[in-house]
Amino acid sequence: MITVSLCMIVKNEERILARCLDSIADLAEEIIIVDTGSTDATRQIAAKYTDKVYDFAWIGDFAAARNFAFSKAQMEYIYSADADEVLDEKNREAFRLLKETLLPEIDIVQMYYTNQLSHGTIYNFDRELRPKLFKRLRTFQWQGAIHEQVNLEPVIYDSEIEIQHLPENNHKDRDLAAFARQTAGGERLDKRLHNIYAKELFISGEDKDFMEARAFFRQSCHDMERSEDEIKEAACVAARAARICGDTEEFLKYALKVIACDGCAEICCELGEYFLQKQDIDEAVIWFYNGAYETESILNIRSGGDIPLMGLARCYHAAGDEEQAAVYEKLAKEWKLPEGK
């Protein structure tokens, strides 16, 4: 059976920390909790479960805090958890079985994060695999009878364990403020963070957030080292920001850039909003319809679902066609995430 170090970074989690630890503490041989500046009873609650509670001065870097927590671990594997996670009894048993049967060559175990869409997170999936259990020390072996080489790729196992994600609030203000600070300082986001920033804007962002992000994503649109997908998502953000501030010329410039890259549901919705504001109902209907039925979303899955359907309802309300408006309102209300998402 493998041994597990449970590692967590926390701050002001007095309301939910015990809930998380009660569901996982007995599955770990060691519990390490790193506090990044709590002003409530978080540290006292943590101390009821472990004597390994450490302080870490917050420097605006989650990776640094998590690496510090990992550096304190002594067991064979490290389980990384957040305070807003819970394992139910069925998945606690699955975790126990995993500990008894995990093959020694496995470096990372992925588990399903669930309940994502109920809390306005940046994810477009309600059930998503995430790496959660990590071998603390990896061994490297040579492979190949000739032209031998060391295997550098981790061996990953996709388990069926499901972790309930139950945040008390949306962290979008914290996340978007962090992105704004990073990019304002001239930092170039990698492809993954670039995508997450754009997603969080379209899923949870307010007008002010788009305006703060405008300069960065305008620059991304002209960054020759960005992929077509990155330029497409950047142009979506730049177009939304231009529409918000009433810059028609720039709005159309970035909207057309997305259309030239095969388009997406997000930009169709933006064009629908633009023409609806111009009271060009017929044109708005075309674009909202394309968002709902002819294109795929790239940032917010709702951009290909209830958002354009409600846009169509608003168009028909504006045209005085209440019967057709009611049809699309009903479709928007009944829209569900496609199976498997």
Domain membership of residue 182 (yes or no) is yes
Low-confidence ranges of the chain (pLDDT < 70): 116-126, 147, 169-170, 338-341
Please indicate, yes or no, whether residues 145 and 249 belong to a single structural domain of this protein.
Answer: no
Nearest-10 crossing angle of helices 207-221, 228-244: 140
Please indicate, yes or no, whether residues 179 and 282 belong to a single structural domain of this protein.
Answer: yes
Q: Cα–chain-centroid distance for residue 223?
A: 24
**Distance of alpha carbon 19 from alpha carbon 184, whole angstroms:** 38
Give the per-residue pLDDT at 308. 98
Whole-prediction pTM value?
Answer: 0.75
Give the per-residue pLDDT at 66. 96
Please indicate, yes or no, whether residues 161 and 179 belong to a single structural domain of this protein.
Answer: no
Please indicate, yes or no, whether residues 177 and 124 belong to a single structural domain of this protein.
Answer: no
Domain membership of residue 341 (yes or no) is no
**CA diameter of the chain:** 76
Please indicate, yes or no, whether residues 301 and 325 belong to a single structural domain of this protein.
Answer: yes
**Distance of alpha carbon 221 from alpha carbon 238, whole angstroms:** 8
Please say which residue of 148, 165, 182 terminates a domain.
Answer: 165
H or E element, residue 257: helix 248-260
Domain membership of residue 216 (yes or no) is yes
Pairing state between β 4-10 and 30-35: parallel
Q: Choose among 296, 298, 297, 333: nearest CA to 312.
A: 333
Give the per-residue pLDDT at 128. 85
Domain membership of residue 222 (yes or no) is yes
Q: Choose among 48, 155, 170, 69: nearest CA to 119.
A: 170
127 bridge partner residues = 114
* Overall number of domains in the chain: 2
- Residue 270 domain boundaries: 172-334
| Backbone φ and ψ of 305, nearest 5° | -135, -110
Please indicate, yes or no, whether residues 37 and 152 belong to a single structural domain of this protein.
Answer: yes
Please indicate, yes or no, whether residues 108 and 240 belong to a single structural domain of this protein.
Answer: no
Please indicate, yes or no, whether residues 56 and 156 belong to a single structural domain of this protein.
Answer: yes
Task: Classify residue 105 as exposed, middle or buried by CB count within 10 Å of its CB (0-12, 13-18, 19+).
Answer: exposed
Give the per-residue pLDDT at 178. 86
Give the per-residue pLDDT at 116. 52
Please indicate, yes or no, whether residues 186 and 322 belong to a single structural domain of this protein.
Answer: yes
Please indicate, yes or no, whether residues 137 and 213 belong to a single structural domain of this protein.
Answer: no
Domain membership of residue 136 (yes or no) is yes
